[in-house]
Amino acid sequence: MIVANRRVKQKDIANALDISKERVHHIITVHLGDRKVSARWVPRQLTVEMKAQRKTICTQLLERFTHDGERFLRSIITGDESWLHHYDPESKMQSMQYRHKNSPAPKKFKVVASARKVLLTIFWDMEGIVHIEFLEQGTTINSERYVSTLRALTSRLRRVRQDKVKDVVIQHDNAGPHTSRQTQCALQQLELPTIPHPTYSPDLAPSDFFLFPLLKKHLKGNHYETDAEVEANVRSWCRSQTPEFFADGMRKLVQRWRLFAE
């Protein structure tokens, strides 16, 4: 019955076989070793061609790392964007608390993230944050805006990474403003080479799999009245992270190259 319908309920199996629900549960979990799980959300179902591209790119980048070592990692400036809400409720794990066995269970009212939010654009490397920008709600990132960001990034690099300006490579995803002709021309003009990024692969973007989850965990549960308050908190959190924190995020990228290159 389970093979025919993976969503079948234990009470329906019990009724069909005329046995207790407890017996059904015991057979499924102990004898069959099965358990019911939720489907894992993924951004997009990758095609065979996308998976092949992903493997090829990861293999190429891993070979480059094998040849150049951490010198290659240190040359990468990774950039990405993400929305940050003025209020984002705590996760279930964050709101857990100890209680005595005789104490009443704590109550938690259902809340949702605020509609007000600010768009964060961030570029960072193994040493730390290189450039940060914030855009107010209602603003979109198009090619013109992204080129302006790249120009600001280049200017910032000359101030905070003077020793590596000529060695940097940019890593960003394949969003339209990142890959447009206008952006490609600007990258060439600014002498900012890029490394390839597989299509629909946020799990290979360090900001998506490392930086943003930790930043948003820090912001969760806090109420901010203005964009400026969000921005100040983000900048403060970024300044509090050590170079080793950022280096660890980049090294995790190498682990993922290895995983998908196999």
Share of the chain above pLDDT 90, in %: 65
pLDDT band at 39 (very low <50, low <70, confident <90, very high): low
Chain segment 168-194, per-residue pLDDT in tens: 999 999 999 999 999 999 999 999 999
Average pLDDT value over all residues in the chain: 87
Q: Determine the pLDDT at residue 32.
A: 72
Q: Determine the pLDDT at residue 104.
A: 55
Q: Determine the pLDDT at residue 95.
A: 39
Cα–Cα distance, 188 to 241 (Å, whole number): 32
Chain segment 112-161, per-residue pLDDT in tens: 445 689 999 999 999 999 999 999 888 889 999 999 999 999 999 999 99
Query: Is pLDDT of 94 > 60?
Result: no
Cα–Cα distance, 167 to 72 (Å, whole number): 9
SS3 content of the chain, % helix, strand, coil (to 5): 50, 10, 40
Query: Is pLDDT of 199 > 70?
Result: yes
Angle (CA) 214-218-220 rounded to 5° is 115
Q: What does the buried/exposed string (b/e) look like for 11-28 if buried means 16 or more CB atoms within 10 Å of the residue's CB? A: eebbeeeeeeeeebeeeb
Chain segment 213-245, per-residue pLDDT in tens: 999 999 998 889 999 999 999 999 999 999 999
Query: Is pLDDT of 163 > 80?
Result: yes
Q: Which residue has the higher pLDDT, 260 or 25?
A: 260
Please state which CATH number belongs to domain 48-92+112-261: 3.30.420.10
Are 137 and 119 a contacting pair, CB within 8 Å? yes
Identify the weakest region by mean pLDDT among 91-100, 196-205, 236-245: 91-100
Sketch the domain layout of the chain as residue ranges.
1-37, 48-92+112-261
Query: Is pLDDT of 58 > 50?
Result: yes
Mean pLDDT value across residues 43-64: 92
Q: Determine the pLDDT at residue 43.
A: 58
Q: Determine the pLDDT at residue 109.
A: 41
